[in-house]
Chains A and B, each alone.
Chain A
Amino acid sequence: MKLDTTGLESALPLFGANCQMVDGFTAAPAFELPTTLDFDGFQKEAIQMVKPAKGTTTLAFIFKEGVMVAADSRASMGGYISSQSVKKIIEINPYMLGTMAGGAADCQFWHRNLGIKVCRLHELANKRRISVTGASKLLANILYSYRGMGLSVGTMIAGWDETGPGLYYVDSEGGRLKGPRFSVGSGSPYAYGVLDSGYRYDMSIEEAAELARRAIYHATFRDGASGGVASVYHVGPNGWKKLSGDDVGELHYKYYPVTPSTVEQEMVEVSAA
């Protein structure tokens, strides 16, 4: 199988004064594959041991003032919550964000790879920033070449480039979609319900942030695999900025405060005689 290794090649020369290759055990531009006849069966077993953390709610939408990106922060392995503080919004570079859904390691590695190798190399070679269209296409091509090998990536690339705000959905099946609104993850149906009904193109930044926050909150309320902290980021012409990070448990009591109810009869303590 021909894998797209453009993201893995080292910028340094293979031999000579400043090379990294020492006895062939650094940065070989390829993934080691197990020498087995049954690759798929092996991957199935290996993944059983690895049990990638999944279950999530992420969303992003374009509006008048730019792109709003929000996500929860829970990682679950089966019924065990392995972390409540996972960073699911990955800062690729100061003006582009990626969201994480699916395999945590897959998303982290390929976004890091995208930012460091692909985007920065483009900037250095072409003396201008890479467009959101370009970055998402390069990521989609890389993921497509690993199609069928078990990667699990469901990501949204959000950014602001010369053409304005950009939002693409890219996944490990090789799919790439351009659109104004996306939600990805096990909690996405719940998030879509809130997001689609409250969405208007001309919202202010505060209104859009509150819509995103509420959508994540409602998804964490109903979906057991989503929870933790709802993070909200805004991408504008000057890059991204984190707007808020709220514990969803506290958001619940903020949206639905407990009203003290009147009781007809109260129990009174009887003093010990």
Chain B
Amino acid sequence: MSRFSPYDNNGGSCVAIAGADYCVIASDTRMSTGYNILTRDHSKIYKLADKCILASSGFQADMKALQKLLAARHLIYQHQHNKQMSCPAMGQLLSNTLYYKRFFPYYTFNVLGGLDNEGKGCVYTYDAVGSYERVGYSAQGSGSVLIMPFLDNQLKSPSPLLLPAQV
């Protein structure tokens, strides 16, 4: 007797790469369930703020709910602070939002890309329950295990944990 599962995996992959004064974010547009393609034209990228873009792969219904929630929180922030949210601020908001559903997770694998307060490119990568870190580049989704080694080969940057800092 199979139990109802509230989750589904709609597949897809997302990538983000941070540059000195720019950030590129990309995703595929296939939405599938099992071996069936539901549509070839569904973007997984969503603009949250002027300098902050969210790309998520995984369960698209949870992704939609997450986008709506973050957009609404951003609107409230704008009303209260009279300015757009910065990417690092949105980064922590997303982490907390994901963790508040720790016991009924959003099945989304997110990459947040944009510009930080100094205008430098920043990419934040997340797991499904909100653990996050700022990185130079990241891929999430079904193709991440194929894309990450390629990015490591082409882009490998020194770890931010190294001290004395080796740039």
Do A and B come together as binding partners? Answer: yes
B45 smallest CB distance to A (angstroms): 22
Whether A85 lies near B131 (C-beta < 8 A) is no
CB nearest to B7 among chain A residues: A49
Assess whether B49 is interfacial by the CB under 8 Å rule.
no
Q: Which residues of A contact B160 (CB under 8 A)?
A: 85
Given contacts A46-B105, A49-B7, A104-B127, whether A85 and B161 have CB atoms under 8 Å apart is: yes
Q: How many A-B residue pairs have CB under 8 A?
A: 101
Whether A49 lies near B135 (C-beta < 8 A) is no
Q: Is the interface of A mostly helix, strand, loop or mixed?
A: mixed
CA distance A17 to B10 in the complex (A): 43
CA distance A22 to B72 in the complex (A): 10
Assess whether B42 is interfacial by the CB under 8 Å rule.
no
Assess whether B117 is interfacial by the CB under 8 Å rule.
no
Assess whether A87 is interfacial by the CB under 8 Å rule.
yes
Assess whether B82 is interfacial by the CB under 8 Å rule.
no
Of the candidates B107, B133, B164, the one whose C-beta lies within 8 Å of that of A83 is B133
User: What count of chain A residues pass the 8 Å CB interface test?
Assistant: 44
Q: Which residues of B contact A84 (CB under 8 A)?
A: 159
CA distance A83 to B135 in the complex (A): 10
CB nearest to B58 among chain A residues: A49
Whether A244 lies near B163 (C-beta < 8 A) is yes
CB nearest to A20 among chain B residues: B76
Given contacts A85-B135, A149-B103, whether A26 and B128 have CB atoms under 8 Å apart is: no
CA distance A245 to B39 in the complex (A): 47
Assess whether A58 is interfacial by the CB under 8 Å rule.
no
Given A32-B103, A53-B131, A103-B129, 4 further pairs, Cβ under 8 A: A32-B100, A50-B129, A105-B99, A107-B131
